Amino acid sequence: MPIRFRLAAQAVAVVLAIVAIALIPSTIELFAMMQLTLFAAMAVLALSLAFIWGFGGILSFGQTAFFGLGGYAYAIAAVNFQDSTPSILLAIVVPSVFAAILGYFIFFGRISDVYLGVITLTVTLILFNCVNSTSGDEYRIGKALLGGFNGMPAVPTFNVPFYPDQVLSPEQSWWVTGGALLGVFLLLRLLLSLPAGRIVVAVRENEVRASLLGYDPRKVKLLTFILSGAIAGLAGALYVNWGAFVGPTIFSLSLSAEIIIWITVGGLGTLLGPVVGCVLIEYIVAYIGSQQAMNSNLVLGAVLIVFVLLLPKGLVPTARDLLMRLVPAPGPKAQLAEERVPPSAAASHMAGAE
């Protein structure tokens, strides 16, 4: 019974989200909507780390590597084809292939977690320096000039699939970006409720036990890594579509750190938390930036410290715990079984996230 109730509640939430995405352009100003478009693109990036870190147990500092590769793949392809349709596809495929190659050596080489963090961080820096030093006419791919430190301006934005001359309006771009965010969110939700997703969580919980049951943790982690790279790549394309620009700072370390802060604030081990954390933090950063009274990095650091000390679980899990305490549960089962999972695998991600 509680499971049916939860499913119904989730269906209502999805419908509400669709309605909100549909109505936003007609209710708020263009500037605010553009900002929301940026936040939605960043939230897709947040989801990519939320999945691999919160559910796969792999702390990758390199999500911006895939994000940047996706952005550049989109920009280069869009300049060459003058059509966003194959470019978006490439923005997903290129980072996935890169993740597959990098991940193969990391996971099949049995490299430990700490080194995984170092390697992903270093790869991001290498990409930054490579792209940063491509100034000059000789660095071009087809018609696309890489532009080095200056980046690539005037990248064609999204168009109606297969109709290059029908460029999307800002409203339509919002619908695509907001829709992509909802789509990725629902896709990950679905995946996590399927056996494949439960195995990802099992490997996070106990790699030794998973392998003693016959699961190959190397393969599971590699696939998790590739999927999260693909999502980050899509986020890169959405980001470039928002600004019609891509530059090497897309590989920056500060962005890598920011994603981790979004997730810490929103709640590790959830999907909703990182989205909330991302929008909240990005909003604060944008607000502070427009005031010019304080340094936004200082505030970000303070926010991170406050959350780690006072709300280590993050916003969403804390709110959920409070709700559960307020609503008297019918029995111990309802308290422990968690959202969305089918009865055969009623499980929780509450633990193991820390």
Residues at the site binding another protein, with contacts judged by CB under 8 A:
195, 198-199, 201-202, 205-206, 208-217, 332-333, 336-337, 344-353
Closer residue to another protein (CB): 293 or 351: 351
Q: How far is the CB of 88 from another protein (least distance, A)?
A: 35
Closer residue to another protein (CB): 171 or 216: 216
Closer residue to another protein (CB): 217 or 274: 217
**How many CB atoms are located within 10 Å of the residue 295 CB?**
11
Q: What are phi and psi of 141, to 5 degrees?
A: -115, 110
129's tokens: 């320096």
Q: How far is the CB of 261 from another protein (least distance, A)?
A: 24
Q: How far is CA 301 from CA 7, 254, 292, 311, in A?
A: 38, 11, 17, 15
Q: How far is the CB of 277 from another protein (least distance, A)?
A: 21
Q: How far is the CB of 36 from another protein (least distance, A)?
A: 34
4's tokens: 């049916």
Total residue count of the chain as it appears in this document: 354
DSSP for 176-190 reads HHHHHHHHHHHHHHH
- Surface-to-core class of residue 26, CB atoms within 10 Å of its CB (0-12 exposed, 13-18 middle, 19+ buried): exposed
Q: How far is the CB of 58 from another protein (least distance, A)?
A: 16
Closer residue to another protein (CB): 26 or 344: 344
Bridge partners (DSSP) listed for residue 145: 140
Closer residue to another protein (CB): 12 or 213: 213
